[in-house]
């Protein structure tokens, strides 16, 4: 059995012979040629056997795919794509709403300008000093909280 397809001398009639679709005068003529050339006949018969095995395997695998199973798969795929389309539309609407809110925030901040919080006099520099003071106070609190006070033991002065 030849493992390689003979590309040089492969004819349409030989291909139809391998597929089992050759009939009439062409079948008689090819039969006469194959009787005269046993090597060619063996090669074509080997190819026919391979193609028959391939077709049988394909039909066997396809028979497991019943029409009801395929119909259910198609319905599930359609439902999933419809759900994706609906959620995609909702996501686009939420994104548009978020952009509008961000735009309003930017316009509002530009309209109001950089103003210190109420209760701080002295403008922006005084506000920055207040923020820095608060930051230092928070860092100090964290430093005190980070101290390990368990190492400190009370001293017994009565000894």
Kindly write down the DSSP assignment for every residue of 114-154, as one continuous string.
Answer: S-PPTT--SHHHHHHHHHHHHHHHHHHHHHHHHS-GGG---
pLDDT of residue 3: 44
Tens of pLDDT, residues 8-55 = 567 788 888 777 788 888 888 888 888 898 888 888 888 888 888 888
Tens of pLDDT, residues 100-150 = 898 888 888 777 776 656 666 777 777 778 888 888 888 888 777 777 666
What are the residue ranges spanned by the domains of the chain?
12-63, 67-113, 116-149
Q: How far apart are CA 143 and CA 147, in angstroms?
A: 7
The pLDDT of residue 2 is above 50: no
> Residues with Cβ < 8 Å from 110, sequence gap 6 or more?
none
């Amino acid at each position: 059995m030849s493992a390689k397809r003979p590309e040089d001398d492969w004819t349409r009639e030989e291909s139809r012979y391998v597929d089992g679709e050759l009939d009439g005068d062409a079948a008689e003529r090819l039969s006469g040629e194959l009787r005269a050339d046993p090597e060619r006949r063996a090669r074509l018969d080997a190819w026919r056997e391979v193609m028959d095995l391939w077709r049988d395997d394909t039909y066997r695998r396809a028979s497991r795919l019943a029409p009801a199973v395929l119909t259910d798969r198609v319905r599930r795929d359609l439902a999933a794509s419809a759900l994706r389309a609906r959620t995609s539309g909702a996501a686009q609407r939420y994104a548009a709403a978020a952009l509008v809110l961000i735009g309003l925030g930017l316009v509002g901040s530009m309209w109001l300008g950089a103003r210190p919080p109420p209760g701080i006099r002295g403008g922006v520099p005084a506000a920055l000093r207040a923020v820095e003071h608060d930051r230092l106070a928070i860092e100090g609190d964290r430093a005190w909280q980070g101290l390990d006070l368990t190492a400190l033991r009370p001293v017994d002065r009565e000894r």
